[in-house]
Each structure stands twice: as structure tokens, then as C-alpha cells.
Amino acid sequence: MKKKTFLMAILLIALASTMFSILMLSERVEAYATDNHPYICVEAEKVYSNAEIKQHLDDIKRGATREDEVDIVYGYTGPLTTITHFWDADMGDDDKVKAPITEVPTYPNALQKARRLWVMAIDAYTKCYKDKAYEYLGHICHLLQDMSVPAHAHEDFHPGELIPGGDDCYEDWMDTNENYKRWDANDAKAAGGLINIPACMDDGLYYLMYTTNQYADYFASDDYDGDKNDRQGWMDYTGWPQTPTKKDHLSDNDSGDNDNDGDLTRIAERCFVYSIRATATLYKVFYERASKVGATADPKTIRIQIPKPEEQKRNTGAFNIILANPTNEKISVSMVRYQWTGEIPQDTKVTLLKGTIEINPKSLRIVTGPTFSVGPGAKPGEFPIKIIWKITGTEVEFATDPAVMLIPPSVGGIIVPVDKLALLAPYIGLASTILIVTAVTLIYVKRIKKREQNNGKYASTP
């Protein structure tokens, strides 16, 4: 009897936990309303724009809207579609989003997702799929804008009215009667317009995601206090309002989602306006980066797609490098070593060319290498690498400095076709550079040999 009673108690607890989980997750956890994100995108275009941004604004708005509807990166569906729209930046760049109920760190955060989408957008742009590139940019804009919501910076889940206290008063109030339209591009311009990204910061996306997050992190959400923790040291909170920085400050706002004391307005004046500025700056960062890559077709970069874990394989790619010998002598060179000049990619193996490569006088020689083997444990991103060559019989070395772009595995949703020929992207763009470098080094070697011969000749003369 006792055993039966114990089992029944366990079943009741499990059933209660399951029902609570269903209530918690029966709606997607969204930030601003459906119309809010495209509104920010439109206002941002009034702060920064050009002919291309104008042409693709509808693509950006489409991506910003779809980000709440489909997960094109990780493939999460149903209530978990938007689980990656949170990031507790105080805990680190790779801090995982806690699972509802269990609070076990489980899911990728908004920064991680934005970085994957960034690689997808740049890759689509270089393949001339500009409509898709800007649609992916719209997905990134959505994640960036979510970072301006205190609940998303605190990982304060808010599945709606299905459970008591399940809403978020700031988001609900912003959506009521379209209160968000009280702020527009003019407010963003008055607050400073485009955000000044420090010259030493080469990752504009990260700077915008982090600072937008820290704007929201200062303020409280319904269930979490705000704070001034800033592990990067980029924020200056001098003169910021003292409320609502504690969750208790919002207790009187949560009833009917009212703004009688002005607390919700104070959040919007800082965070919502900054989200317009950040989105406009993101337009600029993306356009300058993508157009530069697109104009050169990025001949110094190969793209390798990361395999899915279930595929149980490694994907490979290699450079086709043109070596030129403009002299009248046959020379030989060898690939002696390599060095990652930035972040070292995970689960990526490099195999250098072995032996020497002979190049006939006044000839070109195309070689394939080094070879890169990429496993499922790799992370998306662009990784520059320096390849060191040596001319045989001399101490002369020269370097080529291409990059490897690792593309996320395709997971449903929008897919940019992978041009398999592009996995061995021709290195034609460096031909003239290598030609010049080789010519200079060979001339230098010949002068050394001649000087040594002359020195020997003069030394033997009485």
C-alpha cells in the first residue's frame, strides 16, 4: 500500500511538472509584437541608407518578421522557435540559454545565433543572392532588437497570459495601442544617430549586440533586477534614471500593463531608441563588409560547410594557389608552415603540401593546398590564416594570407545553395601579388649569389 501511494505521488508530481511545462511553453516567447520589428527596421533606414538598402528594405523586414516564425539556423520548432532570442551577456559570450522549468543551460544564445546568420548572409551576398542576404540580415536585426528588451537580457521568460505573471509589462505596454510608435528615427538621430564603434573593434556585430544588451540589462524586468555589470567596460551609466532598476519598481506597472509612473517610458527612451540606432549601424556595418567582399568575389577565402553531427563525416576544402616564376631560371618552393592569425577554428585540421614544387622559367604553376578538414564540432566564422613558403636553397620566405569561412550546416527554412566548385575557390586574385613577391625575392637571391661570387673573386686576387 505504501509503495502504491509512493508511486501515485511520483506520478502526480510528474504530471504537474508536465502540465506546468506545457503551460510555460504553449506559446512562443516573443519580444516586441509582429509589427514592431519591421517598424524599427523602417525607422533605422531613415537614419542610415543607400540605394541598395532601400532596394532590399522589404527583404530585411521579411527576415525580421520571420525570425519569430521559423528557426532557420537550429531548426527549433513550436514553443522553442524563439528560445534562442535571449542572452545573459554578463555570464559570457557562450553562456547558454537556460531551459524553462529545469533552468539547465541548454540552448544557444542570441549572439551565437546572430553570428551564424551573419556568416550565412555574407555567403549569400558573395554568391549574388542579395535578396536572401538581406533577408538573413533581417533575422539578425530581430535578434539585435530583442537585446533591447530587459526580459531578454535577463533570460526572463514570458510565455503570455496562460499562467499568472507570465507576461512582461514593458513588452505588453509597448504593443498596446502601438505605443512603440511614440519613438522614431528623429529620436534616434537626436540621441546621436549612428553608433560609433571603436576603431580597434573589428567585430561590429558583437559590439552592437553587446551594448544593446547592456542598455536593457541596466533596467529591471518583471522578475529580475537590473544591474550595472559590464564585463567589457564599454558602458557609461552616468545620469541614467534610478527607476525601474529593481523588479519591485515594476510591481505597480504589471497590473494592466500601465505606465502611470513613467517607468516603462524611461526604459523605452533608452532601450527602444538605442535599438533603432543599433539597427541603422548594423545596416552600415553589413553593407560595407558585404559590398567589399562581393566586389572582389573574395578570391582569398574558401567556404566549407560544417557537417551535421548525424552525418558522421568531415567536409574538406583547399586553396588553388597560383605560383609565378618570372625569371629565366627554374626554381622550387615548399610550403613550410602555417599560422592562424586570429581565432583558431575548432575541429579543423590542416594538411600542408609535402615536398618541393618546381616552377619552370617564366611560367605559372597551380597547386592545391593546404587542405582543411572540418568536423561537426567546428563553429561558424571567418578564420584568417598565414601560409609560409620558402624558396629552396635559400633562407628567403614569403607568405600568403587567405581565410577559411566555415558555413553552418543547413537546417530547414531558407537554404542558400552551396556551390561545390566554390569549395575550391580559385586563388587567381593573388597571382599578381605572388608574382611580384616571387620576383622580388628571386632578384634578391640572385644579388646575394652575385655578391658572394664577387667577394670570393676579389678575395683570391693579390
What are φ and ψ of residue 44, in 5° steps? -65, -35
How would residue 326 be classed by pLDDT, with cut points 50, 70 and 90? low
In percent, how much of the chain has pLDDT > 90?
52
Q: What is the pLDDT of residue 98?
A: 94
Give the three cell numbers for residue 345. Answer: 577554428
Across the range 44-63, mean pLDDT stands at 97
Q: List domains and CATH numbers for the chain.
A: 35-296 (1.10.575.10), 301-459 (2.60.40.10)
DSSP letters for 200-268: T---HHHHHHHHHHHHHHTS--SSS------TT-----TT--STTSSGGGGTTTTTTT--TTSHHHHHH
The terminus-to-terminus CA distance of the chain in angstroms comes to: 118
**In 3D, which of 378, 382, 224 has the Cα closest to residue 298?**
382
The whole-number average pLDDT for the span 370-393 is: 89
Give DSSP secondary structure letters for 263-297.
HHHHHHHHHHHHHHHHHHHHHHHHHHHHHHHHHHT
Q: Which set of grid coordinates corresponds to residue 209?
A: 549586440
Strand-pair partners of 351: 371
CB-based contact 293:126 (threshold 8 Å): yes
If 0-12 CB within 10 Å is exposed, 13-18 middle and 19+ buried, where does residue 435 land?
middle
Rounded to two decimals, what is the model's pTM? Answer: 0.64
Task: Tell me if 138 sits within 8 A of 4, measured CB to CB.
Answer: no
Cβ atoms of residues 234 and 214 within 8 Å = yes
The number of beta carbons lying within 10 Å of the beta carbon of residue 258 is 14
Comparing 161 with 383, the larger pLDDT belongs to 383
DSSP 120-165: HHHHHHHTT-HHHHHHHHHHHHHHHHHTTSHHHHTT-----TTSTT
pLDDT band at 321 (very low <50, low <70, confident <90, very high): confident
pLDDT over 70 at 47, yes or no: yes
Compute and round to an integer the Cα radius of gyration of the chain.
28
Asked if pLDDT for residue 432 goes beyond 90, the answer is no
Nearest-10 Cα torsion for 210, 135, 415, 117: -10
pLDDT at 299 > cutoff 50: no
For the cut 60, the answer to whether the pLDDT of residue 406 exceeds it is: yes
Asked which of 117-126, 185-194, 336-345, 376-385 is least confident by mean pLDDT, the reply is 117-126
Phi, psi of 209, deg, nearest 5: -65, -45
Q: How far is CA 198 from CA 63, 184, 201, 212, in A?
A: 28, 25, 5, 15
What are the residues whose beta carbons fall under 8 Å from the beta carbon of 15, sequence distance 6 or more?
Answer: none
Looking at every residue in the chain, the average pLDDT score rounds to 80
- Strand 301-305 with 403-407, pairing: parallel
User: Which set of grid coordinates corresponds to residue 274?
Assistant: 538605442
- When mean pLDDT is compared across 89-103, 406-420, 433-447, the lowest value belongs to 433-447
Q: Which three cell numbers stand for residue 94?
A: 557562450
13 alpha-carbon distance from chain centroid: 41
Residue 201 · residue 207 · CB < 8 Å? yes
Residue 159: pLDDT band (50, 70, 90) is low
Q: How far, CA to CA in Å, does 449 sit from each of 28, 244, 393, 396? A: 73, 77, 11, 13
Q: Report residue 415 as a C-alpha cell.
A: 537554404
pLDDT band at 160 (very low <50, low <70, confident <90, very high): low
Residue 162 amino acid letter: L
pLDDT score of 3 more than 60: no
Q: What is the model's pLDDT at position 319?
A: 82
If one counts every other C-beta atom within 10 angstroms of the C-beta of residue 152, the result is 32
Reported as half-sphere exposure (CB side, CA atoms, 13 A), residue 204 has a value of 20
Angle between helices 263-296 and 36-45 (to 10 degrees): 60
Per-residue model confidence (pLDDT) at position 192: 98
Contact 253, 263 (CB under 8 A): yes
Q: Across residues 74-86, what is the average pLDDT?
A: 93
- Checking if the pLDDT of 297 tops 60, the result is no
pLDDT of residue 26 exceeding 50: no
Question: According to the model, what pLDDT value does residue 409 have?
Answer: 84
pLDDT of residue 392: 83
Query: CA–CA separation, 372 vs 350, rounded Å?
Result: 5
Residue 385 near residue 341 (C-beta atoms within 8 A)? yes
Residue 117: phi and psi, rounded to 5, are -65, -35
- 302 forms beta bridges with 404
186 secondary structure, DSSP code: H
Taking alpha carbons only, the member of 81, 40, 75 closest to residue 60 is: 40
Please indicate whether residue 23 or residue 188 has the higher confidence score (pLDDT). Answer: 188
Higher pLDDT, 299 or 98: 98
The answer, yes or no, to whether residue 62 has pLDDT greater than 50, is yes
Dump pLDDT digits (tens) for 108-155.
999 999 998 998 888 788 777 899 999 999 999 999 999 999 999 999
